[in-house]
């Protein structure tokens, strides 16, 4: 069989690209290694930058997001038993939207279903071949058969462990990585959020984050050692530790309950260069990973989708490949700026093993500067709501 673009990976970035291309009359086939239920069962961050919100509107899938999402025009930063607010709207005129990544994915699947788009779940042994020629193709196992799809382009949206990035030869690809010496223990609970806005807390005991998915579903995190296990934490132990790390006013009003999900997430920064090899283009986690501090993972994937969508539309409308040729450089320019923000925010808010008294005082001085400087808050707000594409 043949299509114009094969999208490897049926997560939100692959689905968003497919929906945008559909609206331009460009045919796609989406290949997903897992089942649909598995993809929709993954718990991920839910802070959407203005750019992603705009892309969802461009894709025609923003109705439920606008109805059910929570507009946040600021965030809370806590340290040394005090809390201050960074006002996004005041400093940038923009906001973010709190809307779960699972819901984004659900909306995109429903939109693809409505268009009759070809989506293959539980595919295996995917091979991308001929990407460095004018005739790429993808082969995979599906429902007991070996299938080949010839195409014009391949979009690799299949995450860090997928086949897309590994298809780029080692001699061509360069990897950049930083692994952080701690993780986040996260708990999801059917409880009201402790605060209307997110609270990022730097404490002597380590980082904590108070977040939410909706008015009755909260997501909380505490910094932990990577060697730790969720099994080591009872719900009561988690809530007690969280209270110790957030301002007293928040701790006093925290509503607790049984956890419905508990896991530890590692923190790492990773970038692959280039993000294009021939007619293969990498998007999202296939090309880069950021620490969850500041919720830039899905949002950075969305910026990749923006650049690739623009390039493919230009190519099919006019035959001009200028924007496709610039895809990797354009995407990476923004990726590295996003990496810088996530790295800065992670360094600011976490306690590091072996951290000296000098290092600790530098953190506190940086936090005090952020609290007192409108210019520093404006820089943070600009990065948090999302740099322009």
Q: Active-site residue among 292, 307, 327, 350?
A: 292
| 10-residue stretch averages of pLDDT, the chain, 389 residues long | 97 97 98 93 84 97 95 96 95 96 95 96 98 98 97 97 97 97 96 97 97 90 96 97 97 96 95 98 98 95 98 98 98 98 98 95 97 98 97
Token duo for residue 33: 């290694």
Q: Is 292 an annotated catalytic residue?
A: yes
- Taking phi over 0 as left and psi of -120 to 50 as alpha, with beta for the rest, 291 belongs to beta
Q: Active-site residue among 12, 22, 72, 307?
A: 72
Phi, psi of 205, deg, nearest 5: -95, -5
The rounded distance, in Å, linking the Cα atoms of 98 and 228 is 29
Q: Active-site residue among 200, 220, 221, 327?
A: 200
**What integer pLDDT is reported at residue 46 of this predicted model?**
85
**What integer pLDDT is reported at residue 103 of this predicted model?**
93
The rounded distance, in Å, linking the Cα atoms of 287 and 301 is 9
Residue 260 C-alpha from the chain's centroid: 22
Q: Is 72 an annotated catalytic residue?
A: yes
User: What domains sit in the chain, N to C, each tagged with a CATH number?
Assistant: 5-70+97-177+268-345 (3.50.50.60), 180-267+352-385 (3.30.9.10)
**What integer pLDDT is reported at residue 213 of this predicted model?**
84
**What integer pLDDT is reported at residue 43 of this predicted model?**
67
E strands, 80-226, are 82-87, 96-98, 118-120, 124-129, 137-142, 145-150, 153-156, 174-189, 199-202, 208-214, 217-224
Q: Is 296 an annotated catalytic residue?
A: yes
């Amino acid at each position: 069989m043949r299509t114009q673009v094969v999208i490897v990976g049926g997560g939100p970035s692959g689905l968003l690209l497919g929906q945008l291309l559909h609206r331009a009359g460009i045919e796609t086939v989406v290949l997903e290694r897992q089942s649909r239920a598995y993809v929709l069962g993954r718990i991920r961050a839910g802070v959407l930058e203005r750019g992603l919100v705009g892309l969802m509107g461009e894709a025609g899938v923003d109705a439920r997001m606008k109805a059910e999402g929570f507009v946040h025009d600021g965030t809370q930063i806590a340290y040394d038993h005090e809390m201050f607010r960074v006002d996004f709207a005041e400093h940038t005129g923009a906001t973010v939207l709190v809307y779960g990544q699972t819901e984004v994915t659900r909306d995109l699947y429903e939109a693809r279903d409505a268009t009759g788009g070809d989506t293959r779940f539980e595919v295996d042994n995917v091979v991308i071949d001929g990407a460095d020629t004018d005739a790429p193709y993808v082969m995979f196992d599906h429902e007991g058969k070996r299938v080949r799809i010839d195409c014009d382009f391949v979009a690799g949206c299949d995450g860090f462990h997928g086949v897309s990035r590994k298809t780029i030869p080692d001699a061509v690809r360069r990897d950049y990585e930083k692994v952080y010496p701690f993780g986040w223990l996260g708990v999801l609970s059917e409880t009201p959020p402790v605060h209307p806005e997110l609270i990022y807390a730097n404490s002597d005991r380590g980082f904590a984050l108070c977040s939410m998915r909706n008015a009755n579903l909260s997501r909380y995190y505490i910094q932990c050692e990577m060697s730790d296990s969720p099994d080591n934490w009872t719900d009561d132990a988690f809530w007690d530790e969280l209270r110790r790390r957030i301002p007293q006013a928040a701790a006093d009003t925290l509503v607790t309950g049984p956890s419905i999900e508990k896991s530890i997430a590692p923190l790492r920064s990773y970038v692959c260069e280039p993000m294009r090899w021939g007619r293969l283009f990498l998007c999202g986690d296939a090309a880069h990973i950021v620490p969850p501090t500041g919720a830039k993972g899905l949002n950075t994937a969305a910026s990749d989708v923006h650049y690739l969508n623009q390039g493919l539309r230009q190519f099919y409308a006019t035959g001009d490949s200028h924007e496709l040729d610039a895809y990797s450089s354009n995407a990476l320019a923004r990726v590295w700026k996003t990496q810088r923000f996530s790295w800065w925010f992670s360094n600011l808010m976490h306690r590091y093993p072996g951290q000296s008294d000098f290092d600790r005082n530098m953190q506190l001085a940086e936090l005090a500067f952020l609290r007192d400087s409108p210019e520093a808050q404006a820089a943070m707000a600009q990065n948090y709501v999302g740099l322009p594409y």
